[in-house]
Each structure stands twice: as structure tokens, then as C-alpha cells.
Homo-oligomer: A and B are copies of this chain.
Amino acid sequence: MSQTVDRALSILPLLAEGPADLGRVADRLGVHKSTALRLLRTLHEHGLVYRQSDQRYRLGARLISLAQEAMENLDIREIAHPHLVRLNEQCGHTVHLAVHEEDEVLYIDKVESRYPVRMYSRIGKPVAITVAAVAKLLLADLPEPERRARAEQFDYPLYTARSTPNAPAFLRELEKVRDQGWATDLGGHEESINCVGAPIRGADGRVAAAMSVSAPNVVVTADELLTLLPLVRRTADAISGEYSGRTPVTDPAHPDHRSARTPTKDPV
């Protein structure tokens, strides 16, 4: 809507690919160098972009701290965290929490597996939207026309032989997930990794987040993982209850559950 801002913001994903110099940025934006310079300077003043010693630009630290604050504003995260930890204590596997926003699904919390062999993942990373259990859960809740629209604009990369191959298959899978109230990813992303997930619902009954337990084949088989399903669902339901119930949030700052984790003020 605003050309200047639009151009400036386009620089960010560009730099996310790696550091770039002025000329490169100008080229990619399709503008004159002097224009790119001014945009970069503005981004720099706000700390979103950093100029490293070789003069090239890369994403700045302010971006990281902003993202940090963004996550701390997510109520679901605060509420869910202790439940995720407890679940991890019970089963020992990696536990993820994810939300859906625009056309991304991303992990917003994670409790590491206590087994030596762990899967790789990172908070903030967008998930493989066509195969991940949490993605299926979140998309399955969308109204039918939107679900269809989304499904059709996705790519369907074949990570493994068991990846969802195309839109019709994906829509069928969503239908199934919607009916049964839980989802799996059995080697659809990484051959050797399986997940079981369940939805977390808000007060309006819509799916607000999704959680999953993941474990590599070498630790437990898919069948063994599936025996955890009741536990996962109970946990998800517990979070749903707390999230949709009278959330004890005194709005602007949430001193209650925040102080629960950090006894004094603004923690290190």
C-alpha cells in the first residue's frame, strides 16, 4: 500500500538469505543505489539492519529482540508452557507448540527431548506446512472454502515417500484430522521421525494452537508413539481449558503468570 515502506521491508527477507552489499540490494529491489542506501539507512537507524565490518548489511539485533517481545505477548505460550514441560517429563520426547498466522505455521515453543538422539527444530522456524501434524491440525479447523484455497496454493515437496503428494490428498487428510480430533506425521518430513499432535481450542471453540510430540524411529516406533495419544490429547485439552476459561490476565502487562517464572522484576 505504501511504496516506500514496501520497498524497505522487502529488504529484510532479502538480507535473511545472507549479508548483501548496497549494489546487490539495489539490484534486487530494482531501484537506484541512492534509494537503496536511504532505505537501508532508515532500517539501520531502527536497528533492524546491521552493517558489518566489510560494509555489507545483514539483519540486525533489534529484530531479534523485537521477535522476543512478540513471543512474550502470546498468551497461549505462557499458558501452555508448564503443560508442555510436564508432558515432556512424562514421555521424555520433544514437545512442540505451534500457531497459524497468515500463510505460515510456526513453532512458538519447544521442550527438548531427554533422549540423546534428538530431532532438529527451532522456535520461530516455519514448519513444513503440508506434512507436519501441527500444521494439519491448524489448517483442518479453517472453514472449508478457505481450506481448499490454501491447499491449492501450496507446493507439495516430496520430503519422503510418505509426504503428502498434492492438494486433494492434503484436503482428504485435513478432513480426517478434523473428524478424529488429532493428527500424525509418520515420516512425512524426515523418514525416521514421527509425530502425534492434538489441537488447542480457544473460548470460541476454534483451534488456536496445536501441539505435538515427536520422536525418531530409533527411540520409539510409530506404534509406540501412538500409545501416547491419550496423554497428548489430555494435555492439549488441559491447555484448552485454561486458555478458553477465565484467563487471569490483567491486560496490558500480565504480571501474574509472568512473575510466576521470574521472582523479581525484568529478568536477565
Contact = CB atoms under 8 A, between A and B. Distances in A.
Interface residues of A, number: 71
A71 B66 CA distance: 13
This chain's copy number in the assembly: 2
Given A2-B39, A38-B1, A43-B5, A66 B13 contact: yes
B39 A5 contact: yes
A9 B46 contact: yes
Nearest to A204: B53
Nearest to A261: B120
B50 A60 contact: no
Contacts of A1: 38, 41-42, 45
A8 B2 CA distance: 10
Nearest to A9: B46
A47 interface: yes
A190 interface: yes
Given A50-B102, A58-B70, A42 B9 contact: yes
A63 interface: yes
A132 B65 contact: no
A70 B63 contact: yes
A1 B49 CA distance: 14
A133 B3 CA distance: 44
Q: Chain B CB within 10 Å — which of A5, A17, A126, A190 has the most?
A: A5
Given A58-B73, A61-B106, A119-B268, A5 B42 contact: yes
Given A18-B252, A67-B68, 4 more contacts: A1-B42, A16-B70, A47-B102, A60-B101
Interface of A: 1-2, 4-6, 8-10, 12-13, 16-19, 38-39, 41-43, 45-48, 50, 58-71, 73, 99, 101-102, 104, 106, 108, 119-128, 132, 159, 189-190, 193, 214, 251-253, 261-262, 264-268
